[in-house]
Each structure stands twice: as structure tokens, then as C-alpha cells.
Chains A and B, each alone.
Chain A
């Protein structure tokens, strides 16, 4: 089978990296530049950097810091968080990121993605979708860092966003974030089937078996994880890791 694309996703809060559980309780992980350097050494496939406060708390994107972080990365990097306008996206590319991740702004104005894709190519416009399963087992799309329920069903939303020119979908299950109990395969399957662009599964991974399930059972094109790359084990101390070549192949 094809090599799995494995993406550590790092959460930025002001100048530091943090990790959340179900989008809450951020715990400090470390300095972003140090962490990126470790992932260089370990040969991570790609890195996703998400500012978890930018949109929610209306904080200005810290372009200077971002440019320092991207300058250290010898692997592709995507940034998301607080990108509201085309100008914001432009500045992110100028900082040295290959991809921009758009979440809340895409729901408000899908044409933002179209504009980015037209100038920078589809491969650089990532649509991020945060989904949550309610008590009745229905999935809904959330925006603003998981605080606003749009009431929209994910499959229809994904299809609509594919038409805007998005090149990838970063699919994050809020109810799985930081839980270590596996991806929500059901929603990955639904969304992957519905669109013809790559889907990145995120939320709940604890090991290689989860990755395989997301790809084989879920139909995802890539997998993202956070906790398992920044902690030794569930509930244990910080340790930056990435699977070795032998494990991935």
C-alpha cells in the first residue's frame, strides 16, 4: 500500500504550543521553533499549525512569529487560525507556508477559498471542518474554534466546499480531540466518499493502527494527530515523537 501521510498538528496559543482535550483545557507543550526543529530531525511528513485563539478571541495573527516558525521547517507547513481575508492568506504565504487552512471564514464567505485557489492553486487552499456528533448521532459542522454550531450536515458542507476550489479537507472530530480513543471512522468515511479531493482525518489518534483504520476503513488520504506526537502516553509528560520509517512502511 501507499505510504501513509502523517501530519503532526500543533496548536498555537500566543507564543507557545498547547494541546487541548475536546477543544478545551489547553496544556503547555513547548516552544514552537524547538518543536518544529525536532520534527525536522525526525522527518515528519508535514506540519499543521493552528492558532486556536485567533478567531475565537479576535486576536491579530502573529505574522512575525509565524514567519520565524516556517523558516525553520524543512517540510511542508500549513497554517490555520484567524485567516479572514484574502490579504491574511497572502501574508501567510509570504511567511513561507505552503498551505492556508480556512475554517470559519469559509463558512461565511466561500469565495475566499476560490480566490486563494485561483492565485495559489487548489493544493494550497485547505478547508478545515470541525464536526461534532450530537446525542442523537447526528453530525454537525462547527466554526469559531468549535464554539458555534452552524447546524450544517458535514457531507453537504464538504461537497459545497469542494466546488469552491478547496484542494484538501482537514476533517476534525471535536468529540475525539485529545481523547486517544481512535478516529471517528464513520464521519471520515462519509466525507471521503462524498468528495474527490483528499481528506485529512484528525481527532482521537493513539497509534499506527488508528492511522491504518482511517486510511483503509475511512478512505482518508492522510492522517493528522497531536497528542500522540507531543505526549509520551495518555496522561503522561511531554515528549515530541514521530514514527520511524520502518513503522510507516
Chain B
């Protein structure tokens, strides 16, 4: 999708390449513990955190990538990155016996707070979701969008240069393409 947008993007596990980047994207998909372990064992966490907190480059987490930014998840035991105040919880289906989990499919999002990530999005916008867990943020001021599946849940957040979305922009046609373009065009 980045190629289609004429943007340069690369998948890397090389320290120097991360050091040189001016945007960072933490993608899905995966089990929370597996992803956290892989990141911790990669030896890259230091440089990633330096880029995020010292250089303050725009950073976007997608799906599990965004969940990893919370302090932990019901899905596993590993500690999260704790970049955003909140946790990742399993869909609460106690009062919703007919709710099928995982939530898979397209959802209309409600933008709570106008955000640079959502600039010029076609209305209404729909995005593709595929998850059993969702984040629950502590500070409502960080929430930028919600979605409804049985109940309203937080589906996008921002704190300073850190962004997270539960849906998959890379798989959400023109809507997702716009979000990725907005992210790529952000200035530090």
C-alpha cells in the first residue's frame, strides 16, 4: 500500500536502519506474548524507544502493535511497552452471550477527537478489524476514535507522537490508505 502511495517504507530488523528512520510503524498480527518476546529478544527495543521518546518521531502501532504499547494484555503474561496509559482486555462477552469472538470484519469508526491521522477521511469511514482483545485507555483524552461491536470500545489513541489503531489501515481500501498517507506526511 505504501508503494501504491509512492512512499518509501521498509521492513527491517537492522539497528542502523531504525536509527535512520523518521517514522516508525509497529504492525500486527500476532499473539501478545510472542510479539513482546520477539521485540525484547531482538535487542532493538533500546533504539526503538530512543527514536520514540528522544527523537519523538511519529510512531504508529497497528492491532497487536498498538496493544503492545499498553502496559499489558489479558492475552498473555508479558509486560507491555507501557507507552500509553491503558491495558489490553478481552472482549467482554459476559452480558453478550451471542457475541461471536474474535470480532472480524468491517466497522464504522466514530471519531471522538479530530486528529491529523483522520484528516480528510471519506465519510463514513469503515475499517477492517480482526481481534479478540481491545485496548482500554486510562485517560479519555487519549482516545481519538471508538468502534462498536456489542458495545463501544476504544479503537484509536494518541499521546504526543505515539499513535495506535486497533483496525488494519493496510487492509482497509481507500480509508486505510488515507490514514497511512496522513501518518506518512506528518512532520516531527
Q: Are B101 and A196 in contact (CB under 8 A)?
A: yes
Contact of B102 among A40, A76, A119, A197 (CB under 8 A): A197
Cβ A123 vs Cβ B168 within 8 A: no
Q: Is A222 an interface residue (CB 8 A)?
A: yes
Q: Does B34 have its Cβ within 8 Å of any Cβ on chain A?
A: yes
Q: Which of B4, B104, B170, B171 has the most CB of A within 10 A?
A: B104
Task: Give every chain A residue within 8 A of B106 (Cβ-Cβ).
Answer: 3, 5, 45
Flag if B104 contacts A123 (CB, 8 Å). yes
- Verify A43–B173 contact, CB threshold 8 A: yes
- Chain A residues in 8 Å Cβ range of B4: 74
Q: For the complex, count residues of A whose C-beta is within 8 A of B.
A: 29
Cβ–Cβ contact A98 & B29, under 8 A: yes
Which residues in B have their C-beta under 8 angstroms from that of A122?
A: 102, 132
Which residue of chain B lies nearest to A221 when distances are taken between CB atoms in the complex?
A: B100
> For the complex, would chain B's binding face be called helix, strand, loop or mixed by DSSP majority?
mixed
User: Is there an interface contact between B29 and A197, defined as CB atoms closer than 8 Å?
Assistant: no
Interface size class of B (residues with CB under 8 A): 20 to 34
Contact partners of A3 in chain B: CB under 8 A:
105-106, 126
Contact with B along A80-121 (1 / 0, CB 8 A): 000000000000010000110000000000000000011111
Q: Say yes or no: B34 contacts A123, CB within 8 Å.
A: no
Q: A4 to chain B: closest CB distance in Å?
A: 9
Interface string of A120-142 (1 = CB under 8 A from B): 11111000000000000000000
Q: B132 to A98, Cβ gap below 8 A?
A: no
Knowing A98-B130, A123-B104, A124-B130, say if A76 contacts B177 (CB, 8 Å): no
Query: Most chain-B Cβ atoms within 10 A of its Cβ — which of A46, A76, A119?
Result: A76
Decide if A167 is an interface residue (CB 8 Å cutoff): yes
Q: Which A136-187 residues have a C-beta within 8 angstroms of B?
A: 167-168
Tell me whether A222 and B105 are in contact (CB under 8 A): yes
Given A5-B106, A121-B132, A74–B177 Cβ distance below 8 Å? Answer: yes
Interface 1/0s, chain B 168-188, versus A by CB < 8 A? 101111101100000000000
Query: Which residue of chain B has the shortest Cβ distance to A75 in the bound complex?
Result: B171
In the complex, chain B residues whose CB is within 8 Å of the CB of A30: none
Q: Measured between C-beta atoms, what is the minimum distance from B74 to chain A in Å?
A: 13
Q: Is A198 an interface residue (CB 8 A)?
A: yes
> Given A76-B171, A120-B29, A198-B100, A45–B105 Cβ distance below 8 Å?
yes
| CB-defined contacts of B155 to chain A, threshold 8 Å | none
The smallest C-beta distance from A99 to any residue of chain B, in angstroms, reads 8
Known: A46-B128, A76-B168. Contact between A118 and B31, CB under 8 A? Answer: yes
Closest chain A residue to B1, Cβ basis: A74
26 residue pairs A–B, Cβ–Cβ below 8 Å = A3-B105, A5-B105, A43-B174, A45-B106, A74-B170, A74-B171, A74-B172, A74-B173, A75-B171, A75-B173, A76-B128, A76-B168, A93-B29, A98-B29, A98-B171, A99-B130, A119-B31, A119-B34, A120-B30, A123-B102, A123-B130, A123-B131, A197-B101, A198-B102, A221-B104, A222-B105
Supply 11 further A-B pairs (C-beta < 8 A) apart from A121-B31, A121-B132.
A3-B105, A45-B106, A118-B31, A119-B31, A120-B30, A121-B29, A121-B102, A122-B102, A167-B102, A168-B104, A197-B101
By Cβ-Cβ distance, the 8 closest A-B pairs, closest first, are: A123-B102, A123-B130, A5-B105, A76-B171, A198-B100, A167-B102, A74-B173, A119-B34
